[in-house]
Amino acid sequence: MAGAIASRMSFSSLKRKQPKTFTVRIVTMDAEMEFNCEVLDHDVSKEEPVTFHFLAKFYPENAEEELVQEITQHLFFLQVKKQILDEKIYCPPEASVLLASYAVQAKYGDYDPSVHKRGFLAQEELLPKRVINLYQMTPEMWEERITAWYAEHRGRARDEAEMEYLKIAQDLEMYGVNYFAIRNKKGTELLLGVDALGLHIYDPENRLTPKISFPWNEIRNISYSDKEFTIKPLDKKIDVFKFNSSKLRVNKLILQLCIGNHDLFMRRRKADSLEVQQMKAQAREEKARKQMERQRLAREKQMREEAERTRDELERRLLQMKEEATMANEALMRSEETADLLAEKAQITEEEAKLLAQKAAEAEQEMQRIKATAIRTEEEKRLMEQKVLEAEVLALKMAEESERRAKEADQLKQDLQEAREAERRAKQKLLEIATKPTYPPMNPIPAPLPPDIPSFNLIGDSLSFDFKDTDMKRLSMEIEKEKVEYMEKSKHLQEQLNELKTEIEALKLKERETALDILHNENSDRGGGSSKHNTIKKPQAQGRRPICI
């Protein structure tokens, strides 16, 4: 299969040197080639430059097993993707969304919400126009559904995403089928389909479900004479099937496709040649090496993320400690201010108490002086007694006020003592924070990193891989485990496809359904029993005569 695919370029430029002779310059994603070639018996446009597309002529039955080299797989992925988008291969809507998500994974890598924001797929061609026109959905709605599936493919490399794309595409009814317009002996117009499994006869209005199929292992001989083509089944009880094509050149092309597909069909069912075995062994080793490299990079990425998380945690704790120190300083300043205010208030109260005590003493002296001065007359005596009584009342009040002021002074002294104690505790806490040991920097054993990563030091300049028997056995066991997981994923994938189909069914515009959409829905309602893969397995020796179609 590796030799069947030449290349598919992003563009090709040709310069005409001589009549029918061209210098071809091919530029691909991985290589650039230039060679001379001669075009014979082909209608070549006289305009320059002339664009050629180099495509695979024969399609693999199992892309995962037959596409050995990664470049072959990539080029074939581009070809199948373009055929699906150009609607040369029919793909149901729900499968189109899934294939689009794998195509996005292959192009953009893992989904990152901070990078892949809304609208990043606006300029991408990911769905067939037929699917877009079939539903009342905006581009944003399609992007939302594609992105939801895209996010689930995290961790898949480009080649893995492309292979998943091909594994789904190879189960489509029109995958790998070359159609030719033919007529049977009665003049009925039919379509002949040639693919990797055999020959199929279709109704012109239905390219999905063949009317009858001839597997390659049940065909004895294929030949043509002029425009008449003959298919001789291996079972002699079945009549020979003959049909006519429009041109002799079409018969030549059909025969070439039949010979090539039949040869590949038989070779797939035989032991691989030594060269193919060596290619597959090299591909397995390369795949194992890349897998180990991806695992190493994943470990390094995980270690880097852990280091970043640790650094962020330390920065967060340092910031928290700074905030605590700031709060402690503010509390200390408030305590000092409160202590100063209380001390000042206590001093004022103490002075007021002394002043009241002095006034009380003066009142007492005045009372004694009044008592000592005796007034002989009754009026003077009465006035004197009244003054003495008032003086006594005043002295009593002054004494009570002095006592109250003294108690208030004592209370203020006690508050001052508590404020000073709070000030002492705040200073002690600030001292503890200032003297607390910081977290020691983490010094994990440095893991070897690629030289182009500036944040890590590399020890050693090379990396070697030694593949032992135990490694290959372990790899084989992992492959078997992956196969079991793939079967489980396939079941889960089918459930997801059914959910998506149910979700968007309400938005479908029935009047825009094409004939292929209707045929696909009928096949799905019948359980998929009329696909080419099941038709080809029906027994051919039950008396049905292909000539009577």
- CATH of residue 129's domain is 1.20.80.10
Quick: pLDDT tens for 48-83. Answer: 677 777 788 899 999 888 888 888 899 999 999 999
Quick: pLDDT tens for 13-27. Answer: 333 334 455 555 544
| Mean of pLDDT values over 415-433 | 78
pLDDT band at 540 (very low <50, low <70, confident <90, very high): very low
Quick: pLDDT tens for 277-291. Answer: 888 888 888 888 888
Distances (CA, A) of 375 to 371, 380, 383: 9, 5, 9
More confident residue, 486 or 466: 486
Q: What is the largest CA-CA distance in the chain?
A: 172
* C-beta of residue 88 within 8 angstroms of C-beta of residue 174: yes
Tell me what pLDDT residue 509 has.
Answer: 77
Residue 443 lies in a domain: no
Dihedral through CA 121, CA 122, CA 128, CA 132, nearest 10? 120
Alpha helices by DSSP H, 244-273: 248-268
Q: Among 13-22, 375-384, 499-508, which range has the highest average pLDDT?
A: 499-508
Residue 518 lies in a domain: no
Tell me what pLDDT residue 410 has.
Answer: 81
Pick from 511, 456, 435, 167: which is nearest to 308 by CA?
456
Residue 369 lies in a domain: yes
Pick from 228, 236, 229, 234: which is nearest to 215 by CA?
234
How many domains is the chain built from?
2
Distance separating alpha carbons of residues 308 and 302, to the nearest angstrom: 10
More confident residue, 268 or 447: 268
Q: Is the pLDDT of residue 373 over 80?
A: no
Of the three residues 400, 435, 470, the one that is the final residue of a domain is: 435
Distances (CA, A) of 545 to 202, 207, 241, 243: 15, 21, 8, 14
pLDDT band at 103 (very low <50, low <70, confident <90, very high): very high
Q: Which domain holds residue 395?
A: 306-435
Of the three residues 119, 152, 170, the one that is the final residue of a domain is: 170
Share of the chain above pLDDT 90, in %: 25
Of the three residues 170, 203, 224, the one that is the final residue of a domain is: 170
Residue 363 lies in a domain: yes
Tokens of residue 389, six digits: 């009584």
* C-beta of residue 177 within 8 angstroms of C-beta of residue 198: no
- Please, what is the average pLDDT of the chain? 77
- Domain CATH code at residue 425: 1.10.287
Residue 351 lies in a domain: yes
Residue 115 lies in a domain: yes
Cis peptide before 215 (omega within 30 of 0): no
Burial class (CB in 10 A: 0-12, 13-18, 19+), 71: middle
pLDDT band at 482 (very low <50, low <70, confident <90, very high): low
Alpha helices by DSSP H, 42-193: 63-66, 70-85, 93-108, 129-134, 139-150, 158-169
* C-beta of residue 197 within 8 angstroms of C-beta of residue 536: yes
Residue 64 lies in a domain: no
Tell me what pLDDT residue 247 has.
Answer: 81
Residue 461 lies in a domain: no
Q: Is the pLDDT of residue 245 over 50?
A: yes
Q: Is the pLDDT of residue 376 over 80?
A: no
Number of residues in the chain: 549
Tokens of residue 88, six digits: 């040369």
Q: Beginning with the edge strand found earlier in the chain, give each strand of the sheet holding 228-233 in spatial order.
A: 212-215, 198-202, 189-194, 178-183, 241-245, 228-233, 219-225
Q: Is the pTM of this model over 0.85?
A: no
